[in-house]
Structure 1
Amino acid sequence: MSEFITIMKSELVLTGIIFFLLFVKLSRGIKNETLLSIIQLLLLLNFILGFFMNADGSLFDNMYQTNPLIAFEKSILNLGVYLIALLFTDWFKKTDNLAEFFMLMLSALLGMFFLLSSGNFLMFYLSLELATIPVAALANFDLQKKTSSEAAMKMILSSAFSSGILLFGISLVYGATGTISFTELPALLTGSSLQLMAFVFLISAFAFKLSIVPFHLWTADVYEGSPFAVTAFLSVISKGAIAFVFIATLYKVFQPMEAVWYNMIMLLSIITMVVGNLFALRQQNIKRFLAFSSIAQVGFILVGISSNSNEGNSSVIYFILIYVFSNLAAFGVAAIIAAQTGKENIADYKGFYQNNKFLSWVLALALFSLAGIPPTAGFFGKLFLLTSGAAKANYAFIIIAALNMIVSLYYYLRVIRSVFMDKNEMPVEKIDLQPSVKFGLIICGGGIIVVGLLSWVYDYIISLS
């Protein structure tokens, strides 16, 4: 029993928090301010606990597997959820269903944890559904807005379609090999036509979840229609979890088919970077802007994945850690501005620096990091991704990726110019921040600087890989 509790501590703690929220909802209830403070404390304790008692282990005949690297990936996701609980405090206090919101969000996070620890495709599929279905409900949480309902509908339809593709791919894998176990599959993969077809279906399902072009069409509409907290969860936590699982699946399960999937990943990476950047150039709504920005970022993640090495694995995990700080900071500031003004267009940010210097600098740091400008952590993250991708000596691929970094500079700097340089006769008035919101923004801003400058963070990830 003690081994069971130790190995599954992350999932058990999350389950305990979910049941606590359920009991709160069934009781007379607690005021939102008090309940939110309790949730923030529990999420902080959950994050801290993730760094203790981590060891290799497996349960249920290897259906569930864990090791210190998987535990660290779960800690990154825990950190992201804790920051979401801090950054969107204003919106959480106003919502009528705070307990339900966090029950759904933590249920999705629980599914992601099981997804990371999956040892066969049955566990993998069930975990993916647990991670996906609650998010569709979260997208519809602004019940008064028609766009929120549309976002939920598009989310559930695209998720159902991708799940169908995944199931068909899994059935082909089982038909071709006679097993769905991740430990047994590598020895049975021969590269036959049936196995290649199965692999294409599996790649397509992952591409839907990661918003890889051309499977990205749902992303911008769902991001725009969902509440800011849900959009941030989709953009950062959901994408981070799927990226962790994607790289583990390619490196461990489909390692014998590297010659096939390298070319696929390279092509998808190039298309995703180019399309994400070109569409981001045209966006006026901040949510859609960050949606296409996140699509372009996935293209860079694929560069690191293509290397098929420990360095590639480490660079992807390191980049996602940086991405958590950078993207949540950007979404946090955008949510604060939207709550104050009711506006979400980039043009509304003109002259924002005049009355809101702290928020302006946090937003600038976040966008500089997403663009990969030194000395922010985003620069080091993209540098390590490109360096690991260059291990294959495909320099044309790396040059294309580097050129896309230059293109991305334009649309990130466009927002910064609007904030700092453009004149506005009626700029946004000074915004008073809740202490928890300010604390969350300080953590994000500090993370953007510190994670890049402290080399031991990357060294620690390397040691776990």
Structure 2
Amino acid sequence: MNSNLSAILSLHAELSLVLILLVALLADLFAGPLRRRWFHPSVCVLMALQIGLNLTPDTRALFGGMYVNTPFTSIVKSILSAGTLLIFLQSGEWLGRKDTHYKQGEFYVLTLATLLGMFFMVSAGHFLIFYIGLEMASIPMACLVALDKYRHHSAEAGAKFILSTMFSSALLLYGLSFIYGTSGTLYFADLPAMLQGSALQQFALVLFLAGMGFKMSLVPFHLWTADVYQGAPTSVTAYLSVISKGAAAVALAIVLRFVFPLMEEDWTLAVALLSVASITVANLMAVLQGDMKRFMAFSSISQAGYILLGVLAGTAQGMASLVFYVAVYVVANVAVFAVISTVEQHAGGQTGRDAYRGLYRTNPRLTLVLTLALFSLGGIPPFAGFFSKFFIFAAAFAQGWWLVVFLALVNTIVSLFYYLLVVKAMYISEPLTEDGLPAVAPLRSHPGVRLTLALCTAGICLLGVASFVYEGLARWAGMM
């Protein structure tokens, strides 16, 4: 009895998240208008406490090995929770508007439900748990994308996302059926000895990669991304671009490394092609974008290609560099979307790059944070993005993927060009308004946005030079 209770309590990350979800749901149902002003700060405080609970990792297999918790998966969950907290903080201004304040409960409940599904994906030891987590993370996300249901673009984005999710989930589930049919089990611990690389198993691997390719918006499975990112509320777009993508990347790396070790030659070649195609196509398309949310959509596709280099390495070093890359990507991308959301709120809903022309004149601090975040995404030293790219390139290079690393390095130069287009607009370009003034007047951003930008800026500047972060990840990755 005591051992069973101890096992259940070891799910502290999941149980605490369920508790916050229930609190948010009950508060949304029963809290009166006067008490709703405490809704946003209360959820943020509870999320901060939940992150603290995750920082006590242990190793335990539950439910007959279907659910596996390790120090490495615990730190991944902490990163995902921290990213979610940052998005909650910067959502305060948007959720406080008259036309959206009544959606606070829906936003928190749906977001926490998707995060719980991502926890299941990361800790899965059985493909059934993995698929349940995938669907828990996907279906509420479609509701989040269409949260501004009276906006045409939001409803359209929700429809496109649910259709893409439906087809990708069908492909993935079809692949899992072949895995079960040829091996007789779905346990991760039992599958490696049974997946020898027969024709049906190779076909199953292709379907699995295709399904996960949709989730990570990899080329050629990326066509939904720009429309969904543009149509969804900006805070939802931020969540979709960093938390969802990061969880899918870690889950993919765990499955390929521990379930398909005997088919490594097959999946490494496929991952290499997906990585190069995603980085190249997304970088070329990003140069053509005039809308900031579409621009960041192709940026996220490119970043997913870089993340795949950690998957490609297939080693403890690769896993550590992948998670470090995700952590750095979270703080940089959330900072960008926090600025986009702020500009959108104070520029009449504009998300075009022209709204940023001359922004430095009226909002220099906001401009500086956006510049630092873009420099980090581009991999410019001494910011954290440079170190994350260095570590992930080194992991792939160590396994002999020299040509892939070279092509990724060449593409980094292209990415610098389009990131600098935004910097040029803010610092050099003349405003396009009739009165010659920038589209965004001097503003004082929401306290939650200021806190988010401060935390993200600290992460951008310190994560790379704080060597213990990557060293800790490498140590935990070696214990998997």
Q: With structure 1 as the length reference, what TM-score do the two structures score? A: 0.98
1:76 is aligned to 2:87: no
Shift in Å at residue 368 of structure 1?
0.2
Structure 1 contact 7–58 (Cα < 8 Å) conserved: no
- Residue number among 253, 261, 274 corresponding to 2:267 in the alignment: 261
Is residue 2:432 matched to residue 1:426? no
CA contact (8 A) 1:315 1:385 kept: yes
Aligned twin of 2:236? 230
**Matched residues in 2 for 1:32 and 1:137: separation?**
22
Pick one of 49, 52, 64 that aligns with 1:48.
52
Amino acid of the structure 2 residue aligned with 1:259: E
Could you give the per-residue CA deviations for residues 216-243 of structure 1, whole angstroms, max 9, x where no partner exists? 0000000000001110110000000000
1:445 aligns with 2:451: no
Given candidates 347, 352, 356, the residue that maps to 2:354 is 347
Distance in 2 (CA, whole Å) between partners of 1:284 and 1:88 is 24
1:191 alignment partner, one of 169, 191, 197:
197
Question: What amino acid does structure 2 have at the position aligned with 1:392?
Answer: Q
Q: Aligned residue pairs: how many?
A: 464
Match of 2:367 in 1: 360
The CA RMSD measured in Å over matched residues stands at: 1.0
Q: Which of residues 62, 81, 91 in structure 1 aligns to 2:94?
A: 91
- What is the aligned partner in structure 1 of residue 208 from structure 2? 202
Counterpart mapping for 1:403-414 below 5 A: 403-414=410-421
Secondary structure at 2:64's aligned position in 1? Answer: coil
Residue 14 (1) aligns with residue 17 (2): yes
Amino acid at match of 1:254: F
Per the alignment, residue 333 of structure 1 pairs with 339
What amino acid maps onto 1:46 in structure 2? Q
Superposition deviation, residue 25 in structure 1: 2.3
Gapped regions of structure 2 (runs ≥ 5): none
For residues 192 and 199 of structure 1, the distance between their equivalents in structure 2, rounded to whole angstroms, comes to 10
Equivalent in the alignment of 2:119: 113
Segment of structure 1 superposing worse, 29-38 or 253-262 = 29-38
Q: Return 178-187 or 430-439, whichever deviates more.
A: 430-439
Match of 1:140 in 2: 146
Structure 1 unpaired stretches of 5+: none
C-alpha separation in 1, matches of 2:280 and 2:103? 40
Amino acid at match of 2:397: A
Residue 4 (structure 1) aligned to one of 3, 7, 11: 7
Partner of 2:37: 33
In the alignment, the residues of structure 1 paired with residue 476 and residue 268 of structure 2 have an alpha-carbon distance, to the nearest angstrom, of: 24
> Does the 8 Å contact 1:111/1:130 carry over to 2?
yes
Q: Distance in 1 between matches of 2:53 and 2:242?
A: 21
Q: CA deviation at 1:6?
A: 3.2
Distance in 2, Cα, partners of 1:29 & 1:254: 53
Q: Which residue of 2 aligns with 1:462?
A: 474
Distance change in 2, residues 1:443/1:270 (3 Å):
same
CA–CA distance in structure 2, aligned partners of residues 396 and 117 of structure 1: 33
Q: How far apart in 2 are the matches of 1:122 and 1:393? A: 34
Q: Structure 1 vs Structure 2: percent identity of aligned residues?
A: 41
Distance in 2, Cα, partners of 1:354 & 1:367: 19
Alpha carbons 2:396, 2:402 under 8 Å: kept: no
**Residue deviations 1:428-464, cap 9 Å, x none?**
2111112221011000001001001111110010010
How far residue 28 of structure 1 moved from its aligned partner, in angstroms, is 4.0
* CA positional deviation for 1:117: 1.1
> C-alpha separation between the residues in 2 aligned to 1:285 and 1:377?
26
Amino acid corresponding to residue 77 of structure 1 in structure 2: L
The alpha carbon displacement at 1:248 in A equals 0.3
* Counterpart contact for 2:91–2:448, Cα < 8 Å: no
1:288 to 286, 294, 311: 294
Secondary structure of residue in 2 paired with 1:180: coil
CA contact (8 A) 1:32 1:93 kept: no
* Counterpart residue number, 1:162: 168
